[in-house]
């Protein structure tokens, strides 16, 4: 059974991640449909828009971390490079098999947050740096 604090943190993580995911999805959709970019290229650019939103929300709202911003952002960025690779691979597979872009976006919006939570919770904002 998870604690109330952990459950609350997961809900906050989902809210921040949901906001970042909506930004990712909107920018990807716009770049593909309005600028004729490939889904893979659009995904990379879109991911770059979502990272700052995600970092600020996760640091100050989700984890309420009081650690060094430079170190945390560096670790966060490493974690999101892994997420970027994951999202790029998903979108490349989507493109390779001519799968509807909506399915690719949905897969990214599911897989990346799970990997991200685990990385951020255990490596970027560990309990020792949380203000409360």
The pLDDT score that the predictor gives to residue 116 is 83
Domain boundaries, the chain: 4-129
pLDDT reading at 32 higher than 90 = yes
User: Quick check: 31 and 101 in contact, CB under 8 A?
Assistant: no
Can you tell me the mean pLDDT for 7-14?
A: 91
pLDDT digits (tens, 9 = 90+) for 89-114: 998 999 999 999 899 989 988 898 88
Q: State the sign of the Cα–Cα–Cα–Cα dihedral 55, 81, 97, 42.
A: positive
How many C-beta neighbours within 10 Å does residue 62 have?
Answer: 24
Instruction: With cut-offs at 50, 70 and 90, classify the pLDDT of residue 128.
Output: low
């Amino acid at each position: 059974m998870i604690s109330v604090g952990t459950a609350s943190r997961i809900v906050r993580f989902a809210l921040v991640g949901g906001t970042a995911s909506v930004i990712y999805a909107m920018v990807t959709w716009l770049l593909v449909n309005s600028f004729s970019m490939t889904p893979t290229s659009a995904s990379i650019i879109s991911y770059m828009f979502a990272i700052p939103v995600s970092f600020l929300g996760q640091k100050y709202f989700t984890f309420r971390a009081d650690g060094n911003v430079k170190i945390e952002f560096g670790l966060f960025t490493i974690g999101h490079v892994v997420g970027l690779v994951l999202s790029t691979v998903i979108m490349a597979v989507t493109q390779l098999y001519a799968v509807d872009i909506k399915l690719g976006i949905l897969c990214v919006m599911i897989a990346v947050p799970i990997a991200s939570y685990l990385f951020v919770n255990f490596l970027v904002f560990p309990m020792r740096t949380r203000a409360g």
